[in-house]
Amino acid sequence: MRLTRQTNYAMRILMYCAVNEEQLSRIPEIANAYSVSELFLFKILQPLVQSGLVETVRGRNGGVRLGRPADKITLFDVVRVTEESFAMAECFENDAADCPLIDSCALNSALREALNAFFESLARHTIADLVRAKPTVRALLGIDLLEERHAPAA
């Protein structure tokens, strides 16, 4: 199974917000950190907001932040919101009646078992786990540099 680009960048948005938890994150800064278009990130942001994984703050100094603590957002939460289909084979789909083996084939149950194991694994890992594992994430995303640029001169 291959996750979509949307899911990949949804996780990246959440990781960015997690390491930048003290302040609001702005889409242009996130887009710059990952070298991706702002328009693409805005498109991804919508389901994250609707599901409560991210909150938006409007206005001149607005931005986005996590909708709940990073250690309460599992990778499964993200995948469930961003992936459209988990059909690993045709027989997972509703119109699979064409197959003459539909009632006696073990493929569907084997794939379903594998998919459930995948989901269980994702449910054991949180956004906090992803950013905690690498303490240099803030620096790699350029967040520390942004803070230095925006800090008042002493």
In tens, the pLDDT along 78-90 reads 999 999 877 766 6
What residue has token string 């002493």?
Answer: 154
- Residues 48 and 100: their CA atoms lie apart, in Å, by 40
In tens, the pLDDT along 117-154 reads 999 999 999 999 999 866 688 788 888 766 555 555 55
Contact 127, 15 (CB under 8 A): yes
96 φ/ψ angles, rounded to the nearest 5 degrees:
-85, 10
Kindly report the pTM of this predicted structure: 0.83
In tens, the pLDDT along 15-25 reads 999 999 889 99
All domains in the chain, ordered by first residue: 5-85+127-150 (1.10.10.10)
